[in-house]
Amino acid sequence: MITREKSLELLDKYITTPWLRMHMRESEAIMRDVAKHFGEDEDLWGLSGLLHDLDFDYVEKDPQRHVVEFDVILEKEGLKVGEDIPEEMYHAIKAHYEEHPDITQKRESKLDIALAASETISGFLVASALVQPDKKISSVDVDSVMRKFKKKDFAKAVRREVIYEIEEIGIPIEDFVKMSLKSLSDISEEIGL
């Protein structure tokens, strides 16, 4: 399986947008904690979070190519699905954007659902932190996030239904918010929150 070191090299090569690099690290941190919760492989789950948007800057001018171009990057880098990229990681990365018309993978496994929910909640929590006077994740609590979920005009682009999918794999939404806030707090200096 691809190492974290190699994954970070790929981020350095393909991701130039600062907020996107932070988003990918946030997704990794949340995924590692969700894996720990389930007793799953923290590296597999964490690296799925770290790599899930690897093609995003690559397809910046054509967002409809997002996730589709992941395969192009793998080929360019000589990385093979089933060897360097475990099948379940590949499936989860593709399925996190199952709404794309060219993606056949659907969210089915715990890993698939956790990745989609984790990468989606990271954006919501960052938005929640940025409206705080100090712009710190430590100023965000579970209750305020739950209230913001109900406000349709807050972080409009965040698909709340994807976050709520976490309940399908046995994590109550409040617990997931708490877990995700802790994950981001643990890396707050790195992500500037």
What is the DSSP track for 71-127?
HHHHHHHT--BTTTB-HHHHHHHHHTTTTSTT------SHHHHHHHHHHHHHHHHHH
Rounded alpha-carbon distances, angstroms, from residue 101 to 43, 66, 109, 111, 156: 29, 11, 20, 21, 22
Q: Is the pLDDT of residue 168 over 90?
A: yes
CA dihedral 126, 131, 134, 136 (to 10 degrees): -20
| Structure token pair of residue 24 | 């990918």
pLDDT band at 6 (very low <50, low <70, confident <90, very high): very high
Ordered by where they begin, the domains of the chain are 4-191 (1.10.3210)
pLDDT tens readout for residues 11-37: 999 999 999 999 999 999 999 999 999
What's this model's pTM, rounded to 2 decimal places? 0.95
